[in-house]
Structure 1
């Protein structure tokens, strides 16, 4: 069994894996184990015309304990993270949705936005759990926006993985602590 026991007042955890792998459930388990009041930061944008999307959002909502506070922030992730207290656990679900929400940003603006997030994550003072999708394990998307999304999310997850500990991969019904099993690559330069 994978255990989570914070060794200080600060914990930056990254959970990644494929769709429907249990990433969010593992993040929720870790948030409960933190013993702190939990803020659930949802990056999804509600679309009442998309019933399948609404069902997914409702599934997540029903799983969460009633005493958790939900924050909905599809764009200003860094500022929202910066505003939370060290006495809380902040669960961000998900980075992939956040990247998709900002896909229209030009490369220079995206570089600034993602760098601002990395700086805020390094300065965070409480428990912070980030959920991120793995999108690059399949074919290269045939359309430009798909490739842009995959590349931006992949690089962001790599950059966060370099500063997070632990980093979990959830796949095939298992949770793997990559910090214990793997060797880190050098921090990416871009």
Structure 2
């Protein structure tokens, strides 16, 4: 059964041959080959401002963020790809999700004060590249930055299940390992998982 997929390429630097961009392309290729409909949003190309006034969070999104809300709303499955910077997501990715959630798009307060999950029925995969071994990030640091994103943003918005792929040693990939990773991304894309 074909699905609608939204890939969020969260590497802040558009130029260059970054692994995140290549992983997004491989996932997209696998998904399209299997007949899934795919939209890719490249955060580095978008106008993403920082929210500074809490009142702005309640206002509807405009511009690139409104387009991103539409793409996420229409998706069955969302893939978020970013590099680990200082133990968590780059500031651009965090700013994007703050903007994306605005206007009650992702979370709304209920009359009882408990948040309503506005994006129920969607699944997600988080793909994070890092220089250190992925096992070290999970064991030594508890994977805290990624877990916080998965539970505090995606989970609170209603995404379920949320799966993760942590790719360690990203700056020293052999050609063989890179080919294997791209094959894995194409397979995940084909399954929309």
Q: In proportion to residue count, which structure has more helix?
A: 2
Regarding TM over 0.5, the answer is no
TM-score (norm 2): 0.37
| Larger RCO (CA within 8 A; separation ≥ 6) | 1
